[in-house]
Chains A and B, each alone.
Chain A
Amino acid sequence: MTSRPGAPVVEMHGITVALGGVRVLDDVNLVLRPGEVHALMGENGAGKSTLIGALTGTVPLLAGDVVVDGAPTTPTSVARSRADGIATVFQETHLSPHLTVAENVMIGHEVRGWFGIDWGRTRERASAALAALGLEDIDPRAPLSALSPATKQLVAVARAIVLEPRVLVLDEPTSSLDADEAARLLGVVRRLCDQGVAVLFVSHFLEQVFEVSDRMTVLRGGRVVAEYRTAEVERAELISKMLGEDIDALQALRSQRLAHHYAGSGEATLRAASLGRQGVLEPTDLELSRGEVVGFAGLRGSGRTELARLMSGAERADRGELWLDGARVQLRSPGVALRHRIAMSSENVRDDGIVAGLTVRENIVLALQALRGWSRPLSRGEQDAVVDTYLDALHLSADDLDRPAGELSGGTQQKVLLARLLATRPHVLILDEPTRGIDIAAKLEIQRRVARLAGEGVAVVFISSQLEEVVRLADRIVVLKDREKIGELSNGPGVTVDTIVEMIAADVDELDELDELDPGDS
């Protein structure tokens, strides 16, 4: 670190980028200082990723200049920006699962010896990089696939810091992580920062941004709309800057929710009696009623996803019974469940939700068509009727209809998946993490939809690792822990995130498990 302390390491001035004739960045300025975490805020499509691309040389500039350490540079390739000391942390999904940890960390920078790669020294350097992140316990010879998602993400960070960069770019590093896993990663980011690295940080999780960042730049529609010191900004103001006029929607949702509130009458639509599966979920009793939103709360691996899968036929139960409207049902497959009007969206939209190569239209009608069987195709008219209904209801764009669903943003994909399930007119709708990794507007849209569906008499299960979201939406909260249901809460004014946290904490002997939950994560 040769530069003066406090002097900017990167200055970007008047950055303008046009893609396909559209200005996606317009006159954007960004300054990164050593020892500071700079957060880039904005909705999907605001231009965050493009700005990162402009810095790392993957996006050509139409106008503007980039100054690194006082010297003008032209980022034309990733190799060039790396030589300038700028490193990007890739998402853990971009690592190679079958290679070892050391190979993943050192790929492209293996230490060479007389006879090709010197594996001993290569592993040593990988271990050193891992140790710098507090990962001394990882065996560099272990295959990457043996690690948890969080540790993989930290390995991705290790790969970036092997080059001892002065600027580290993290684009949504925590989107696949649990709260405590994210906390660990943020700790690492903070430590790197204290060593004088300038960090550019992008995340959808507001609380993480507030926890880790020193400054923030807010983008909207390709322009900088505000710059703050993190310590000086109110959350509400930040959100309104990001959303523009949409801030009222936040308040509207709350009042709408109160108007719906479930009366608690009626018989159970779907009832699980000692439902479970060896090694997956302990026998569980649960009732879902029409018009009620039931939240599943718990940590990752608590059994919330497993319970959802057993109740929707995605996985077969090997003990207990399921009763639907007073009759016993055997859900041998998700198809059978859909025929019984039980629909579930999986927590992983990209891998087992959306069919990326099919168009949005095909994705929306897929479940309905599968229900009818291949020999009775939906006519074009019927398709249009279905598609139009949800196009309006979920504010999807008609221009996207004939595009492959894989090209769309995560939020839009979630909405397409929701439309697919709603098209089957479910009586029971189970949504596993429907709002993960999507922008606030899409999030509000889905939450609003959930509330309205319950109002229309659907039994809804809502699963989210953001407890605040569960508390806001659910009439009743089922708390799970260690593959077991530990209790239920009837939601009301007295119930907060802390209530759930205490419930989980009270269930165990060691109090230190309390730390696993980050109540403010929303």
Chain B
Amino acid sequence: MPTSPTPSTASAAADASGGFGAVVRHPLFWPVVALVALLAVNTAVRPGFLSVSILDDHLFGSPIDILRNCAPLMLVALGMSLVIATRGIDLSVGAVVAISGAVALTFIAGAPDPASTTTVFLAIGMALVLGLVLGVWNGFLVSVLGIQPIIATLILMTAGRGVAMLITEGQITTVTSAPFKTLGAGYWLGLPVATLVAFGVFGLVALLVRRTALGMLVESVGINPAASRLAGVRARTIVWTVFALSGLFSGLAGLILSSNVMAADANNAGLFIELDAILAVVIGGTSLAGGKFSLSGTFVGVLIIATLSLTVTNVGISPLVTPLFKALVVAAVTLLQSPAMRRKLAERTRRRGRTAPVPPSDKPADVSTDKVVA
């Protein structure tokens, strides 16, 4: 896996230089610190927070809740990472989530036997294909017609909930179907099925991206589309593919969300999930300018956001100020990641260490060398 800051290569680099400094400089250091700090706060408030017990043959506890609740966001953020890496953005993911849930539940509700496995698989298949088609539509607008991604996906973001509304005929569709409920609320081997599905897909895609050349080509297109085209990279196909994948993963996220509550709410399913997904990608260290991306970063980002939501209720913060609390934590994480802030921190620690004879040359000096010597 030569292409990018995957955890294995990066941690190997940290081991090589051996020092604590290398660990601190690792792009995932501060996000992980934030996650651990959040968990610590929760444990301080409720000492049993991290404990996991077995109840009714499956694992039970706050950590399991986090893992289950983050599943839809995990899938959406996965697609979003790839889209952002190609310099794009996908605002329509929330709408796709709503459409996917609406299609599946309306089909199940209208079927003669809602509880039959065949019905459920057909419903899932339909929703996934529709998600893929919507992603392909976005990709067509961006890669073939050359519309700016933010505008192209805004179309579906706005229209999508209307489409979901049409499908559910303005009602909140509810069904009773045991097999379908398994996807969002069921357990397998003691773990939530939603988590297994989301993490499985995430792992598979992460592997696919780094074991094949897809990751490098996506980054190449994101960094310099013109140069990539001249190097023979099929930029259009790659951009189209990532939008299609984003649609597909959003469709799956919609299924998990609707199965968890067994209802399709065209107005509120997946509301603002696009913003949480973008946030998770950014917290994970992928630049919105495109190019280098880190799926492991996105993974940690999603966990942070899911933990944050649970922290709010656990710590007993008033729901009225929840957005403010969320924003403060996010601001702290992004600040710690900003290069300017890191440089300041590094300077402070160095000044404190002045008493000992420390070689003056360090990272910032190297950077300026590159700039100045032409």
State the A residues within 8 Å of B (CB). Answer: 19-22, 24, 44-45, 47-50, 53, 58-59, 171, 314, 333-335, 337-339, 344, 346, 351-358, 361-362, 366-367, 369-378, 380, 383, 407, 409, 420, 424
Contacts and interface: CB of A to CB of B under 8 A. Distances in A.
B230 A334 contact: yes
Nearest to B210: A377
B204 interface: no
A378 B216 CA distance: 11
B230 to A, nearest CB: 5
Given A357-B219, A371-B232, A374-B212, A48 B226 contact: no
B165 interface: no
A22 B217 CA distance: 36
Interface in B201-258: 211-214, 216-217, 219-220, 223-224, 226-234, 238
Contacts of A334: 229-232
B374 A44 contact: yes
Contacts of A58: 372
Contact of B231 (A49, A53, A351, A370): A370
B320 interface: no
A49 B212 CA distance: 41
B128 to A, nearest CB: 22
B369 interface: yes
A377 B369 CA distance: 34
Contacts of B211: 377
13 contacts: A19-B368, A20-B361, A20-B366, A24-B372, A45-B374, A337-B232, A351-B227, A354-B224, A356-B223, A357-B224, A362-B2, A375-B213, A424-B232
A366 B231 contact: yes
Interface in B355-374: 359-361, 365-366, 368-370, 372-374
B212 A407 contact: no
A353 B225 CA distance: 10
B161 to A, nearest CB: 34
Contacts of A420: 231
Nearest to A410: B374
Contacts, number: 124
Contact of B217 (A338, A354, A369): A369
B372 A367 contact: no
Given A19-B372, A369-B213, A370-B233, 12 more contacts: A19-B373, A20-B369, A21-B360, A47-B373, A58-B372, A346-B227, A351-B226, A358-B216, A366-B231, A369-B217, A372-B213, A409-B374
A358 B372 contact: no
A375 B234 CA distance: 13
A24 B220 contact: no
Interface string B1-22: 0110000000000000000000
Contact of A50 (B3, B232, B291, B373): B373
A203 B224 CA distance: 28
Give the interface centre of B214, B219, B374 by most chain A CB atoms within 10 Å: B374
Given A20-B361, A374-B217, A367 B231 contact: yes
A44 B373 CA distance: 8
A369 B373 CA distance: 32
Interface string B334-374: 00000000000000000000000001110001101110111
A370 B238 CA distance: 11
Interface in B272-304: 291-292
Contact of B212 (A344, A371, A377): A377
Given A59-B372, A375-B212, A335 B223 contact: no
Contact of A335 (B3, B224, B234): B234
A373 B232 CA distance: 10
Contact of A362 (B3, B230, B372): B3
Contacts of B360: 21
A366 B219 CA distance: 11
Contacts of B369: 19-20, 22, 24
Nearest to B360: A21
Contacts of B228: 355, 366, 370
Contacts of A352: 224, 226-227, 229-230
A354 B220 CA distance: 10
Contact of A48 (B216, B220, B238, B374): B374
A421 B106 CA distance: 54
Contacts of B2: 361-362, 380, 383
B227 A344 contact: no
A355 B220 contact: yes
Contacts of A409: 374
Contacts of A361: 2
Given A21-B361, A377-B211, A356 B224 contact: yes
Contacts of A380: 2
A355 B223 contact: yes
Contacts of B361: 20-21
Name the 6 nearest CB pairs between A and B, nearest first: A335-B232, A352-B226, A49-B374, A19-B369, A370-B232, A357-B223
A407 B214 CA distance: 24
A335 to B, nearest CB: 4
A276 B291 CA distance: 35
Contacts of A59: 372
Given A59-B372, A357-B291, A374-B213, A366 B223 contact: no
A353 B213 contact: no
Give the interface centre of B231, B234, B369 by most chain A CB atoms within 10 Å: B231
Contacts of B217: 369-370, 374
Nearest to A361: B2
A48 B372 CA distance: 10
B17 to A, nearest CB: 14
A317 to B, nearest CB: 17
Contacts of B212: 374-377
A374 B214 contact: yes
Give the interface centre of A337, A355, A373, A377 by most chain B CB atoms within 10 Å: A355
A333 B3 CA distance: 26
A362 B3 CA distance: 8
B233 A366 contact: yes
A356 to B, nearest CB: 6
Nearest to B361: A21
B279 to A, nearest CB: 23
A447 to B, nearest CB: 22
Nearest to B363: A20
Contact of B372 (A50, A344, A346, A351): A50
A335 B233 contact: yes
